[in-house]
Each structure stands twice: as C-alpha cells, then as structure tokens.
Structure 1
C-alpha cells in the first residue's frame, strides 16, 4: 500500500510516495533505517568536517554536493570519473596551499571508501550527510544538495545515444525525477519535527538504494571492473 509523507514549511509541501516509483518492490514500505553516517561510511571524517575543509581551501562545492557528484561520476566512469571529480571539486584552489592538501586527503579517503562500497555492493553504503544530532532542516538541506551533486554528475557527463537512452528509461528516469523533487522540497518547523524525521529517514534510505541501483545500471558504460582508484595530486596541477 502506498503511503504519502507530507511536510509543510512556509506554505510549501514536501510530498513523496513511499516507496518511490523507481524502487517500488525493491525496498520495503516500512520505516527506513536511521543509521549514523560515520558508521556507514567507515570514515573518521563527517559531513561538517569536510564541509569546513572545502570552504577553507576555497572550493565552491559543499560536502553534500561533492559526495553526490562522486557517486554519479563513479557510476558513469569509474576510476576516470573519480579523477575528474577531484579536479572539479578542487578547481580554482591553490595546489600549493596546505589547506588544499588537507582537504584533498579527506576527499581521497571519501572517494576510496565510496568506490569500495559501491563496487562491492556493500550494504553499509550511505550518503555523507549531517549527524542525527543536527536538526531535520539542516539534514534535509544537505540531502537536497547531495541530490544536486548526483544529478550534476549525470547530466554533465558526455552522453552518447546509448547512455541517453539508458538515462531516459526506467528505473533511472524515475530516480532522476524523484531526485529533482527532493531538491525542491523543504522540511517543516519544530512542531512537525518528528514527522519530518521519519520522512527524512525514508528518503535517505531511498537515495541510498537508488545510488547503488544507478551504479549497477550503468556498469557497461564504465568498462571492466577495476580496483579502487588511486588519485594522484599531479593530475590536478
């Protein structure tokens, strides 16, 4: 049975059918997991740490956008996509700056972990989002930014006829539409926090599975399977 979550903020609605159309029948219709992303990612860095590092080194990307972009770049191009991702996120920053070097180390760690989780179909793959200690408003904004990055990675890649056809067909076309809807959504105020938190958890679970499904659907476009990418700084200089 389809359920509908609605979150109202300043006259705007955040509606979403659960499970979303793209993954109906693939993921359960019950409550989603509500897991801490540090455990899921297996990293010592978190969303706020990476966000601050990106700002300090002068990147125009935030943490959510950067991780979303990474996931779609890996899905489309594998190791080559990872190298282009790092160059894109750090574009315009000073290669000789210590702050840039520190940020690059965090990005490399994130890339390696994300690649491994997607390539090995690990169930603990998770989006890089703020902790549950943050308000649902903060987390919802970061989730929208993650979707922005993911979508940018899909649409900005060079598209041949075969790739365009794949993106236009199910389930990827539904995933793209759903992510566009999420980027337009907002969370409610404190009075609706509990309901919003449930809806947020469901959407995060959807995106988690959607990213993995996208990776599987685009396997033929990134060539033979390979090991985790080793991104050298020299590529960016």
Structure 2
C-alpha cells in the first residue's frame, strides 16, 4: 500500500490536525531511523501529540496512522530501498507548497530523531552530515517562485532527503532487521 498525500491531507483537515502529513511522516521516519520503535498504543499517543489533537483519534485516522508506521518501517528496512517521502504531487500543488512540505518533513525528521531517545554519545560523522543537510532543508524556501529551475532543484532536494533517511536508518539500525509489526 502506498499512502496518497491528498488522501492523508483530507483526513488531516477532517480531523483538525495542526501538522501536515509530511511533517508527521518526517517525525516517524526520524524516530525509526534513530532506532526507536513504538507499540501501536505508543504510536497513537505520539501521533496525537505531534498532530496537536485534543480529542481522541478518529478510527479512520488511527487506521491511516497504522498504515503510516508499517509503510515507513517497511520502506526503510526493506531490501528494495523503496522508502518514499510523503509529499504532494506536481499536479496537486504548486512548487511553493511542495518546498514547504519538504521543509516540514525535514524538521519532522529532526524532531523524531531527537524524540527517539536512542542516540547517546557521538553520532557517526556521516549521520551528522545528513542531519545538518536536513536542518538546512527544514528552512528551505523559494526566493523566486517563478524561477524555472525550482522544479529540478526541489526534485533533487527531495531525493537527497530520501537517501538521507535511508543513510541514517542503516547507520543507526545495524544490529539486524527490525520487527515490522506493531504490538
């Protein structure tokens, strides 16, 4: 299953979420990449807190969040390296919105990485470089929205962020394959 950005965004609006689907997926990716794992209940609590929802999570949002967890962990840990960042498609959003979602994903990744509590001591140099790149991406914005090079630059940054997530995951999760199911 591949989660569609628009489907997630519609459910976010219905549920009154204050963070974007990209930001939450970034948080989860950072958390898992740092070596953190969550039970189903713990994931629901973390997601509800990150999305700044005061009421109980609706069942359809819980189902999507379970799919998020499974899809992100499978994408990161699978041999196919088919992890995909949840961003709006070209035909559904202008370049400003796409860049903003990438910035939110990058900030979310850093938040989740830190929230994992798994990183103690010195972070490997390659991981530190990647985290610095993502920190820069979290502040991304367009100087000139009409610049014809924006689309290519955005695609390059999004691919760099995707590879960065895989790099961090493999560096921080060397102890063997992760459990892919929630308990």
Q: If the length of structure 1 is used for normalisation, what is the TM-score?
A: 0.67
The answer to whether structure 1 residue 218 and structure 2 residue 172 are counterparts is yes
Greater fraction strand? 1
Q: Is the 8 A contact 1:60 1:89 kept in 2?
A: no
The answer to whether structure 1 residue 164 and structure 2 residue 125 are counterparts is no
In angstroms, what is the RMSD of aligned CA positions?
A: 2.3
| Cα distance in 2 for residues equivalent to 1:153 and 1:114 | 13
Query: What displacement does 1:89 show?
Result: 1.5
Q: In structure 2, do the counterparts of structure 1 residues 93 and 58 end up closer, same or farther at CA, with 3 Å as the change threshold?
A: farther
Q: Is the 8 A contact 2:107 2:138 kept in 1?
A: yes
In the alignment, which residue of structure 2 is the partner of 1:137?
Answer: 96
SS of structure 2 residue aligned to 1:164: coil
The answer to whether structure 1 residue 79 and structure 2 residue 37 are counterparts is yes
In the alignment, which residue of structure 2 is the partner of 1:149?
Answer: 108
Q: Is the 8 A contact 1:74 1:81 kept in 2?
A: no
1:177 corresponds to which of 113, 132, 136: 132
Counting matched residue pairs gives: 179
Query: What displacement does 1:157 show?
Result: 2.7
Unmatched 5+ stretches in structure 2: none
Query: What displacement does 1:216 show?
Result: 0.4
Q: If the length of structure 2 is used for normalisation, what is the TM-score?
A: 0.85
